[in-house]
Amino acid sequence: WKSGVLWSGKNLSGHAQLLWCVFFYCRRIGEPPLDNGLIPYVGCALQFGANPLEFLRTNKRKYGHIFTCKLMGKYVHFITNPFSYNTVMRHGKYFDWKKFNFAVSAKAFGHRSIDPSDGNTTENVHETFTKTLQGDALNSLTEAMMENLQYVLRPPVLSKTNSDSWVTEGMYSFCYRVMFEAGYLTLFGKDLTRQEAQRTFILNNLNNFKQFDKIFPALVAGIPIHMFKNAHNAREKLAEALKHENLQKRDNISELITTRMFLNDTLSTFDDKEKAKTHLALLWAAQANTLPATFWCLFHTIRSPEAMKTATEEVRKALENSGQKISFEGKPISLTQMQLNDMPVLDSIIKEALRLSSASLNIRAAKEDFTLHLEEGSYNIRKDDIVALYPQLLHLDPEIYPDPLVFKYDRFLNENGKPKTSFYCNGIKLKYYYMPFGSGLTLCPGRLFAVHEMKQFLILMFSYFEMQLIDSQVKCPPLDQSRVGLGILPPTNDIDFKYKLKH
Ligand code: HEM
């Protein structure tokens, strides 16, 4: 409004124009079309929150491929044309990729800013993540996860006296329990001094994690954690267990954590509790998406007899080729990264399950005023505005994925059974067609490990257990929309299934 070029309210007097602008932020020439919403400050947040996919589809029909929405005082420019995603990435120098993430992390986990420019630490967390979640480090993580999954799944945990009978459980609770326990042990190692108390310790952590994670959307929205007494207590207890003095008692801690425990960061002003809270942030990043994603992989596969048959056959062959046999008492199964990477059916199942359940929001904050040059035109963006991609729009686009709401286990396979990587929109090949792990500089550094651990879980479930849905005709549960923007959405209700050890 400083430039005085108004898109709406232009017939008002100067004073009224100013008021109009304070409440409604006016569009300048060259900026994307603006939806201010009806409520000052809140803007369109309620409509967006109620059904983001429908809201964005409606706005796309109304305004075209790029438009601005006011959301809780922020101006968010949505780019909805997947052919423009690449161009947005190329404007990287104008974006602050981390500002938003650093701020959310500090708010949610209760540590001070980890942005080196704020002077509390010199650690380049992005580098640490890449170094300790990929390359050589990925080998040890993957090995440890396979061992821990079998520690959780095999007898005596599932008592031998019970091994002939069916056990009925909610499938989401089951996946949550197994993946949380194995994942926690993989990141933070085992306490060798108190082995018998290990399970109780992890289950306490699991309950605290659930309680804390439930209010995560509220924390991201800026509501202080003090408003939620139980979740606040749960967070403090989770962090307490991750203090240096407690981690020191554990063996086989992942490099992701040890690198940060013994970081040579002389400028760090973080005390032990605050460091523990940054470990908690990693626990959350490693679990919050993986737990529901694992559920969707298992649920969709069990519901599709063809998927189940083909996947089980792929697993059988992989074990045969590696010369290993399933046994409850003998050596745990172990597969190398190369063997895991050569399982295209499981890869396709995982991709399809994530395509259907992912609702992440890729956000970048503008560092300065600049012009965004896209395929469909050039648009002026103001400093501190947000540019957002919402990949669910492309994941559920019928042009790209026919019958987008149907789970097709082989959607990401070619006719020759190899991974399919060519997807088209209007006859043109897409570079970006699958984005549950984000994009550009905020691409998830744990994505390779995440796929390995879900694959390992499926391999073990298909090998060790017979499984059946209690209601073979059960409908697919809806996605929990309250977590839109955070990644993989959990189901709104659990689905009962039964399992027993195979003979
Ligand atoms: C299905 C599982 C997973 C999904 C869908 C997923 C998705 C994502 C997405 C979308 C982001 C970027 C968020 C943004 O745009 O700011 C992200 C960031 C991150 N993820 Fe994952 N993730 C998964 C599993 C994991 C695992 C297993 C780990 C670690 C063990 C992990 C570690 C991280 C970390 C550390 C970040 C922050 C990166 C940074 O700020 O530089 N993720 N993840």
AA letter at 158: L
AA letter at 427: G
Residue 106 lies in a domain: no
Is there an atom of ligand 1 within 6 Å of 68 CB? Answer: no
Q: Is the pLDDT of residue 12 over 80?
A: no
Which CATH number goes with the domain that contains 92? Answer: 3.30.43.20
Is there an atom of ligand 1 within 6 Å of 270 CB? Answer: no
Residue 279 lies in a domain: yes
Judgement on whether residues 171 and 284 belong to the same structural domain of the protein? yes
Q: Which atom of ligand 1 is nearest to the CA of 129?
A: 35
- CB neighbour class for 93 (10 Å; exposed up to 12, middle 13-18, buried from 19): exposed
Is there an atom of ligand 1 within 6 Å of 293 CB? Answer: yes
Q: Do the beta carbons of residue 74 and residue 421 sit within 8 Å?
A: no
Q: How far does residue 280's CA lie from ligand 1's centre (Å)?
A: 14
CA 84 to chain centre: 23
Token pair recorded at residue 75: 């101006």
Judgement on whether residues 366 and 433 belong to the same structural domain of the protein? no
CA 141 to chain centre: 18
Is there an atom of ligand 1 within 6 Å of 175 CB? Answer: no
Which pLDDT score, from 0 to 100, does residue 155 have? Answer: 66
DSSP 466-502: EEEESSTTPPPPPB-GGGTBEEEPPBSS--EEEEEE-
Q: Which atom of ligand 1 is nearest to the CA of 454?
A: 1
What's the domain count of the chain? 2
Is residue 15 helix, strand or coil? helix
Q: Is 289 annotated as a binding residue?
A: yes
Residue 85 lies in a domain: yes
Q: How far does residue 289's CA lie from ligand 1's centre (Å)?
A: 8
Q: Do the beta carbons of residue 477 and residue 465 sit within 8 Å?
A: no
Is there an atom of ligand 1 within 6 Å of 362 CB? Answer: yes
Judgement on whether residues 288 and 153 belong to the same structural domain of the protein? yes
AA letter at 215: I
Residue 111 lies in a domain: no
pLDDT in tens, 377-409: 999 999 999 999 999 999 999 999 999 999 999
Q: Give rounded-to-5 percent helix, strand, coil for the chain.
A: 50, 15, 35
Per cent of the chain over pLDDT 70 is: 91
CA–CA gap between residue 146 and residue 2 (Å, rounded): 60
Q: How confident is the model at residue 267 (pLDDT cuts 50, 70, 90)?
A: low
Judgement on whether residues 41 and 123 belong to the same structural domain of the protein? no
∠ Cα 438 443 444 (to 5°): 95
pLDDT higher at 449 or 263: 449
- CB neighbour class for 118 (10 Å; exposed up to 12, middle 13-18, buried from 19): exposed
Q: Do the beta carbons of residue 460 and residue 150 sit within 8 Å?
A: yes
Q: How far does residue 33's CA lie from ligand 1's centre (Å)?
A: 32
Judgement on whether residues 356 and 366 belong to the same structural domain of the protein? no
CA-nearest of 288, 314, 286 to 448 is 286
Residue 112 lies in a domain: no
Which pLDDT score, from 0 to 100, does residue 26 have? Answer: 66
pLDDT in tens, 118-135: 777 777 888 889 999 999
Q: How far does residue 441's CA lie from ligand 1's centre (Å)?
A: 12
Q: How confident is the model at residue 237 (pLDDT cuts 50, 70, 90)?
A: very high
Q: Which atom of ligand 1 is nearest to the CA of 101?
A: 16
> From atom 37 of ligand 1, which residue's Cα is the shortest distance away?
444
Distant-in-sequence, close-in-space partners of 204: CB < 8 Å, separation ≥ 6: 237
Q: Is 431 annotated as a binding residue?
A: no
pTM above 0.95, yes or no: no
∠ Cα 385 88 435 (to 5°): 105
Is there an atom of ligand 1 within 6 Å of 82 CB? Answer: no
Judgement on whether residues 318 and 424 belong to the same structural domain of the protein? yes
Residue 1 lies in a domain: no
DSSP 164-194: TS-EEEEHHHHHHHHHHHHHHHHHH-EEGGG
Q: Please give the backbone phi and psi of residue 71, each rounded to the nearest 5 degrees, phi first.
A: -130, 110
Q: Do the beta carbons of residue 292 and residue 491 sit within 8 Å?
A: yes
Q: Do the beta carbons of residue 113 and residue 120 sit within 8 Å?
A: yes
β-pair type (465-469, 190-191): unpaired
Q: Is the pLDDT of residue 313 over 70?
A: yes
Judgement on whether residues 380 and 409 belong to the same structural domain of the protein? no
Q: How confident is the model at residue 193 (pLDDT cuts 50, 70, 90)?
A: confident
Q: Which atom of ligand 1 is nearest to the CA of 435?
A: 10
Which CATH number goes with the domain that contains 477? Answer: 1.10.630.10
Which pLDDT score, from 0 to 100, does residue 162 have? Answer: 62
AA letter at 461: M
Q: How far does residue 444's CA lie from ligand 1's centre (Å)?
A: 4
Q: Which atom of ligand 1 is nearest to the CA of 488?
A: 5
Q: Which atom of ligand 1 is nearest to the CA of 125?
A: 41
Judgement on whether residues 86 and 139 belong to the same structural domain of the protein? no
Q: How far does residue 502's CA lie from ligand 1's centre (Å)?
A: 34
State the DSSP H helix or E strand holding residue 381, giving kind and residue range, or none if neither: strand 377-381
Q: Which atom of ligand 1 is nearest to the CA of 282?
A: 35
State the DSSP H helix or E strand holding residue 348, giving kind and residue range, or none if neither: helix 344-357
CA–CA gap between residue 111 and residue 225 (Å, rounded): 13
Is residue 34 helix, strand or coil? strand
* Choice from 216, 253, 280, 289 to test ligand 1 binding pocket (greatest atom count within 8 A of CB): 289
> From atom 30 of ligand 1, which residue's Cα is the shortest distance away?
286
Query: Mean pLDDT, to the nearest integer, of 446-458?
Result: 98
CA-nearest of 417, 424, 415 to 394 is 424
Which pLDDT score, from 0 to 100, does residue 66 have? Answer: 96
* Angstrom distances, CA of residue 192 to CA of 72, 177, 186, 195, 287: 48, 21, 14, 5, 23
CA–CA gap between residue 285 and residue 181 (Å, rounded): 15
> From atom 6 of ligand 1, which residue's Cα is the shortest distance away?
437
β-pair type (66-71, 34-35): parallel
Judgement on whether residues 219 and 302 belong to the same structural domain of the protein? yes
Residue 108 lies in a domain: no
> From atom 40 of ligand 1, which residue's Cα is the shortest distance away?
442
Is there an atom of ligand 1 within 6 Å of 81 CB? Answer: no
Q: How confident is the model at residue 479 (pLDDT cuts 50, 70, 90)?
A: very high
Judgement on whether residues 326 and 376 belong to the same structural domain of the protein? no
Is there an atom of ligand 1 within 6 Å of 67 CB? Answer: no
> From atom 19 of ligand 1, which residue's Cα is the shortest distance away?
444
Is there an atom of ligand 1 within 6 Å of 360 CB? Answer: yes
Q: Is 107 annotated as a binding residue?
A: yes
Is there an atom of ligand 1 within 6 Å of 205 CB? Answer: no
AA letter at 60: K
Judgement on whether residues 34 and 168 belong to the same structural domain of the protein? no
Is there an atom of ligand 1 within 6 Å of 80 CB? Answer: no
CA–CA gap between residue 479 and residue 214 (Å, rounded): 15
* Residue-number span of the structural domain to which 419 is assigned: 118-360+403-501
Residue 109 lies in a domain: no
Q: How confident is the model at residue 196 (pLDDT cuts 50, 70, 90)?
A: confident
Other C-beta atoms lying within 10 Å of the C-beta of residue 267: 10
CA–CA gap between residue 271 and residue 203 (Å, rounded): 27
Token pair recorded at residue 150: 């079998």
Judgement on whether residues 224 and 245 belong to the same structural domain of the protein? yes
CA–CA gap between residue 265 and residue 122 (Å, rounded): 6
